[in-house]
Copies of this chain bind each other. A is one copy, B any other.
Amino acid sequence: MEKDNRDGNTISRRELLTGAGKLTAVGGIALVTGGSLGLLAGCGNSGTGTTASNQGGTLPYPYEKLTSADIKKMSETAHENWFKGFCAYATLSGIVSILQEKVGAPYTTFPVEVITYAHGGTAGWGGTCGTLIGAGLAASLAAGPKAGEQILNEVMKWYSETALPIYKPDQPKAQINVTSISNSPLCHLSVNRWMAKEGVGFLSAQQMERCGRLSADVATKTVELLNNNADSRFAAVTKSPAAANGTPSQNNCTDCHGANVPKVPTPGGGESLIQSH
């Protein structure tokens, strides 16, 4: 194995994730961190040759708190839009369309259908639930990449632990009976656990209705946190699983691995970097 060539400097992805407010060098590249994901707040604004410039696309976009009436309308849009572009599009367009009405530009120039590909756990591969991909994009537009990710992290914890769907549309496309806890942010687990409990299959009217309601739920939770953030009342209380577990992961390792959870690999100089904080 070749030697780590970092010249003895100790930048860690942990530090990138959790932030320590310091200037560090890794492989000759200077990184300025100013708190949790602090370096990212400046992405696109740094003017370096290798960073895409951000002319007219500076984040965050202006945010205006949504009222209960706004959230009801947003939920209706998200539910309806599932049937037009599936889950990621439904969640993103639900949030953005109400902000287009209340705030206008630059939300009106953002091509919301750009996220459609993330449906079904991204192009139907069963990975991260598309509602979460749409929510992360909406939160990043409205709160910037740093707070947007913190908000999404809280939404993902809530998503994994909460019996869903909660939303009951005035105009359902199908009647459904049950809620379920996904114990995972993955589409494959989330939708199959719900379908098994409801006793229906994929592509059924019930499954589509459930995912439409879920899109409204995730949009609503995201806006709740965006509203808190606008009032300076949002607190990032959940540690990123990558930081908590020493590898990108869910927190319930045994759910997939059973009792035989692999030890997190730490050879190669990683020991000092993978530790609780």
> How far in angstroms is the closest Cβ of chain B from A138?
9
* Residues of chain A from 11 to 51 with CB closer than 8 A to chain B in the complex: 12-14, 16-17, 26-29, 31, 37, 39-40, 43-44, 46, 50-51
* Contact between chains at B113 and A270 (CB < 8 Å): no
- Alpha-carbon gap, A185 to B128, bound state (A): 10
- Alpha-carbon gap, A118 to B195, bound state (A): 27
**What residues of chain B lie closer than 8 Å to A1, measured between beta carbons?**
177, 198-200
By beta carbon, the residue of chain B nearest A141 is: B114
**What residues of chain B lie closer than 8 Å to A54, measured between beta carbons?**
111-113
* Residues of chain A from 108 to 123 with CB closer than 8 A to chain B in the complex: 108-118, 120-123
> How far in angstroms is the closest Cβ of chain B from A83?
5
> A163-203 CB contact bits vs B (8 Å, 1 = yes)?
00000000111111100000001111001100110111111
> How far in angstroms is the closest Cβ of chain B from A85?
5
* Residues of chain A from 129 to 143 with CB closer than 8 A to chain B in the complex: 132-133, 136-137, 139-141
Taking the complex as formed, is A62 at the interface, i.e. its CB lies under 8 A from any CB of chain B? no
Given A126-B241, A201-B264, A203-B12, A110:B57 Cβ within 8 A: yes
Max chain B Cβ within 10 angstroms of own Cβ: one of A12, A54, A121, A201: A201
A187 touches which one: B2, B89, B240, B248 (CB < 8 A)? Answer: B248
**What residues of chain B lie closer than 8 Å to A148, measured between beta carbons?**
114, 116-117
* Contact between chains at A202 and B116 (CB < 8 Å): no
* Contact between chains at A202 and B242 (CB < 8 Å): yes
Stretch at the interface among A64-72, A149-157, A226-234: A149-157
* Contact between chains at B175 and A3 (CB < 8 Å): yes
* Contact between chains at A4 and B205 (CB < 8 Å): yes
